[in-house]
C-alpha cells in the first residue's frame, strides 16, 4: 500500500485544504523554535480534519554529529512538547540528519538518534540519506524516512524504509510543502491502531490439557527417577523443569519415557535434591 502525506516547517496550510488535496497526514516538527514547532492547537486541527500526524525533531541539520550528548539535550526539549501534544506512547519521533555526512560520522549520528529515542522511551527513528539509514537499520533503528535530496541521497536502497520524501514540492493553501510517500501502514503516525491478527482458517486442533507436578528425589549427583500413574497416551510435553523454589532452578535436564504404559520422568545433573518437573498432559 502507499499513502501520500506532506511535511513542512514554517508554512501552515489549512488542515481542510491538506485533506481536500488528497493527503492522508502531515509530518511536523519538534524543536526549540516556536515558529517551526507544532503546537497543540495545530495538532488538534489536523486530527479534527481526519489527518494523521508524525513527528520529526530538528534544530540544526548537523546536530546529530554531536553524538549521544546531543541526543540527551534534544530529548529534554522534545519530552515536554510530546506531553503537551498528547502523543501516544510507542509512537516514534524521527531525528533529522539533513546533511551529506561522511561514513566516519555515522556512529556519532546513530549515537545521537539512539540516545534521543531511548531517553524519550520511544522507538529509534531517523530521517536522512540512504547510507545513513542502512547503518542505523543495522544498529537497531525501527523507523526510516529517506530524504528527497537527490544530489547526496546515493547508494542502494536500504530495506524497510517506511517513508520516502519526494524531490517534488506542491503548493497547498498558498504554502509550499514537501510530498512524502508511506509504503507501509505504520509510518510512525498517530492515531494508529495495529491491525487485528488474521483469523485462523482451515482445520485446527483444540486440546484440553492438565498440569501435573512430579517430585523426584535426587542423589548426590543430582540424578533421579520417578514413575507416575499418568497414562503414556496422555503425555503432551514438559512445560517446565526445576525446583519449586525458583531461586534454585534445576540446571540439569528432564527426560520423559514410557514405563509399563505410564509416564516416567528422570532428571540428570539437578542442582539440588527435591526437583519438581511439571508435565502437560491431555485430559482423558
pTM of this prediction? 0.69
CA angle, 153 then 156 then 162, to 5°: 75
Q: Among 121-130, 133-142, 197-206, 269-278, which is the least confidently predicted range?
A: 197-206
Q: If you average pLDDT over residues 88-108, what whole number do you get?
A: 93
Task: Identify the DSSP state of 189.
Answer: -
Q: What pLDDT sits at residue 226?
A: 79
Q: Which of the four pLDDT bands, split at 50, 70 and 90, describes residue 269?
A: low
Task: Identify the DSSP state of 215.
Answer: E
Q: What pLDDT sits at residue 143?
A: 96
Instruction: Detail the DSSP E strand segments found in 20-151.
Output: 25-30, 52-57, 93-96, 125-128, 143-146
Q: Which residue has the higher pLDDT, 167 or 96?
A: 96
Domain positions in the chain are 3-182, 209-282
Identify the architecture of domain 3-182 in CATH: Alpha-Beta Barrel (3.20)
For residue 174, what is its C-alpha cell?
498558498
Residue 278 has pLDDT above 90, yes or no: no
Residue 204 has pLDDT above 70, yes or no: no
Amino acid at each position: 500500500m502507499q499513502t501520500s502525506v506532506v511535511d513542512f516547517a514554517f508554512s501552515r496550510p489549512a488542515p481542510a485544504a491538506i485533506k481536500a488535496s488528497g493527503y492522508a497526514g502531515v509530518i511536523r516538527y519538534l524543536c526549540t523554535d516556536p515558529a517551526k514547532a507544532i503546537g497543540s492547537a495545530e495538532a488538534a486541527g489536523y486530527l479534527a480534519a481526519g489527518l494523521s500526524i508524525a513527528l520529526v525533531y530538528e534544530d540544526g541539520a548537523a546536530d546529530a554529529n554531536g553524538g549521544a550528548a546531543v541526543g540527551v539535550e534534544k530529548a529534554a526539549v522534545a519530552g515536554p512538547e510530546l506531553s503537551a501534544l498528547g502523543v501516544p506512547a510507542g509512537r516514534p519521533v524521527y531525528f533529522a540528519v539533513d546533511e551529506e555526512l561522511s561514513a566516519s560520522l555515522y556512529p556519532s549520528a546513530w549515537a545521537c538518534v539512539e540516545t534521543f529515542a531511548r531517553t524519550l522511551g520511544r522507538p529509534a527513528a531517523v530521517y536522512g540519506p540512504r547510507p545513513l539509514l542502512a547503518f542505523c537499520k543495522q544498529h537497531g533503528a525501527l523507523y526510516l524516512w529517506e530524504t528527497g535530496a537527490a544530489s547526496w541521497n546515493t547508494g542502494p536502497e536500504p530495506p524497510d524504509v517506511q517513508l520516502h520524501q519526494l524531490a517534488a514540492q506542491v503548493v497547498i493553501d498558498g504554502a509550499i510543502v514537501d510530498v512524502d510517500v508511506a509504503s507501509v501502514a505504520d509510518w510512525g503516525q498517530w492515531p494508529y491502531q495495529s491491525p487485528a491478527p488474521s483469523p485462523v482458517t482451515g482445520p485446527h486442533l483444540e486440546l484440553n490439557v492438565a498440569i501435573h507436578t512430579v517430585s523426584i528425589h535426587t542423589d548426590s549427583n543430582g540424578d533421579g527417577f520417578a514413575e507416575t500413574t499418568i497414562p503414556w497416551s496422555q503425555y503432551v510435553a514438559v512445560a517446565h523443569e526445576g525446583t519449586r523454589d525458583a531461586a534454585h532452578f534445576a540446571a540439569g535436564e528432564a527426560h520423559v519415557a514410557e514405563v509399563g504404559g505410564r509416564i516416567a520422568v528422570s532428571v540428570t545433573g539437578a542442582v539440588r535434591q527435591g526437583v519438581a518437573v511439571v508435565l502437560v498432559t491431555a485430559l482423558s
